[in-house]
Amino acid sequence: MKKFNTQAPLHQRFTCVLLALMLVVVAGCSSLRLAYNNGDTVLYWWLNAYVDLDRDQKGWVREDIDKLFDWHRKTQLRDYVEILRKGQKQVQGNPTQADLMADYSEIKSRTQSLLLKAAPDLADLARSLKPEQIAQMEKKFKSNNDDYRKKFLSGDQEKRQQLRYKKSMEQFELWFGSFSSEQEALIRKASDARPLDNEIWLDERSRRQRNVLALVQKVQNEKLGKEATVALINTLIKDSFDRLEHSDRKAFFDAFENSTAQMILTVIKIATPAQKAHAVKRMQGWIDDFNSLATQPK
């Protein structure tokens, strides 16, 4: 990224937004290659919505996003292929909760690696932000939280359980196709067995946002250099991932992760041979796409 001799005053969210958006763009689209090839543009516009990039920033931010995607394409997609191949074997076999938790840990590790890779570019952006852009970020965070409250904190517990179950089913149907009413009842039971406390998730989300705002404000107020800013961002990224292990809410997080793994195991256990074949075929399509993308020039 562009270098600065003076500073002023990251996200999808703060730091973790970068990959999250990338994965959402890829996993939620029927054409993975199309989604991935347009991911850099989507990420740019997402970032612009948070900080309202000025004329000077727009050019080098686009360049840095292009470089990040180029690195990701060349170094990470082959690994995703191996993850998907492992998933194909697990769907056709009898995976354990330990297997799923190992998969989860691997995905978290790759997510963290991507964010750390982006840290120097994020540092340049943080150092270039102006006070009004930080204010825009804070405003966007508030708007997103208001939307979250309307969607996930309204209604009674049954409504919230239904909404969460519906979101899970959208993902399971993407992988396995349609389910019978008997299967849906079993999945709903497993979904409802997960601890539900959307207030906690909102509080955690707000905490991360405050940390991001505090970081960019510190960079601006203290006119921090590139190295010091990168160190702050790296610490923020690592702390975000370590949060699940060291939070006073660890019992809740552990219970949620374990029960979510049990729900996935339930789906695999009750899936018919045809549904499993659907999942294997879906994954094979993504494997083919990742292999193609990995060798495709920008």
> Between vectors from CA 247 to CA 244 and to CA 252, what angle results, nearest 5°?
70
C-alpha distance from residue 258 to each of 24, 182, 196, 218, 240 (Å): 23, 23, 13, 37, 20
Nearest to 152 by CA among 96, 217, 204, 210: 204
pLDDT tens across the length of the chain (298 residues): 443 333 332 333 333 334 444 444 444 444 677 778 888 888 899 899 999 999 999 999 999 999 999 999 999 999 989 999 999 999 999 999 999 999 888 888 888 898 899 999 999 999 999 999 999 999 999 999 999 999 999 999 999 999 999 999 999 999 999 999 999 999 999 999 999 999 999 999 999 999 999 999 999 999 999 999 999 999 999 998 888 788 899 999 999 999 999 999 999 999 999 999 999 999 999 899 999 999 877 6
pTM metric for this prediction:
0.85
Please name the residue that has the structure tokens 């906690």: 200
